[in-house]
Amino acid sequence: MSKNTKVLITGVGAITPIGKSVPEMWQSIRDGVSGIGTTTKFDPVNVDSKVSAEVKDFDFSVYAEKKLARRMGLFTQYAVAAAKEAWTDSGLEQNLPDPERVAVMIGNGIGGVEVDMEAYKVLFERGPGRLSPMMIPKLIANEAAGNISIMLNAKGAVHTMVTACASGTDALGIALDMIRAGRADVVIAGGTEATITEYCVGGFCAMKALSTKYNDTPTKSCRPFDLNRDGFVMGEGAGIMILESEAHAKARNAKVYAELAGYGGTGDAYHLTAPDPEAAGAKRAFTLALKDAGMAPEEVDYVNAHGTSTPLNDPMETKAIKDAFGEHAYKLKVSSTKSMTGHLLGAAGAVEAIVCALAIKEGFYPPTINYETPDPECDLDIVPNKGVEGEINVAVSSSLGFGGHNGVLAFKKYA
């Protein structure tokens, strides 16, 4: 195979704060529903940010044997649930591929952090001899990919991508390259995260990264590109895609959501947590993704922005889009669905990739909700508050992570 090999999206699965399936999530996006509320996974009395976007009423037994949950961290449970939905959606259950040609590539930022917390308590209170033998398998970041491989009998390469908030995007980008290189016919790819704990929220609060201004009005707390934004809102969940070579998908007459056409990845080489205000790395990621897809900037209709609702990210990303797209930037629709889902960290890019595929398939531009006060530095069309029907031929999704990781994916309508 080669770079000319088309890579198609044939199945999607998601566990998110606005829906525990892709149809439920997509309907919430169409309706502009916020999944953000007062934190309930722990008592937030001791942290400054008291809001988060939690997955509600998650029951792993709906997706697999309940006893298996005892061997998995929550981030792995979310990933397995989303992968099983995507696998079923793709139709591969009825038309099994060669397992040695099925690979797995899953992004994750932090791993089983709640397992870490439980283990530290046991260690300090009862000693190392009382630690669970399942502690290590539950907490290490690669176990989401490993469990998906076992569940779905995927015997090709099984990898984990850890690039902070770009993890899910980068996982899909590397999966694209794997198929083009002929290393797999099918890749189960995406991202997962479960970090709504006092430990992680406290850490991000110490960095002054989270929203604190809207604790009394949680659904209003994530407001990307709005002048009064004050930080991101932590979310959780997973997004998984089934990617296939065009030949493999055609051979089984698979339904297709869209083509994953290009990927660009860059490093800022600037700062561990702050984005480069000159936006050079982010701009280059957009440019590389379009070049990889063989598309001109003028062909793009929609950008699903990283759009974290932080003071530094949103103007920087606006600048990156202007620099990459030139005058066409003002003809684009650029929205942030984090306004509804919160920031799913390592899972964000994968969930937003699914949004792009559905936006193309359904002809709908998702909104940026909670937009009230314009910011002169963020002056693009962000689809404020209400989504818009309209044809989308090309969509782009960006993810910009701590450490200066920039990842951009380009999607196009498949005909």
Annotated catalytic residues are 165, 306, 343
Separation of alpha carbons 67 and 75, rounded Å: 16
Q: Which amino acid is at 92?
A: L
Separation of alpha carbons 229 and 310, rounded Å: 6
What residues contact 408, with CB distance under 8 A and at least 6 apart?
Answer: 169, 263, 264, 265, 285, 286, 288, 289, 396, 397, 398, 399
Q: At what angle do helices 348-362 and 167-180 cross, to 10 degrees?
A: 70
Tokens, residue 358: 């559905």
The DSSP element (H or E) to which 102 belongs, if any, is strand 102-108
- The tokens 């970041």 sit on which residue? 141
Q: Which amino acid is at 59?
A: D
What residues contact 406, with CB distance under 8 A and at least 6 apart?
Answer: 166, 264, 265, 266, 267, 268, 281, 282, 284, 285, 398, 399, 400
Beta strand 302-304 with 394-401 is parallel
Separation of alpha carbons 236 and 224, rounded Å: 18
What residues contact 123, with CB distance under 8 A and at least 6 apart?
Answer: 131
CA–CA distance from 170 to each of 156, 159, 248, 409 (Å)? Answer: 19, 12, 23, 9
Strands (DSSP E) contained in 219-375 are 237-245, 258-267, 302-304, 333-335, 364-365
Tokens, residue 263: 């990927």
What residues contact 279, with CB distance under 8 A and at least 6 apart?
Answer: 316, 317, 319, 320, 323
- How far is CA 139 from its chain centroid? 20
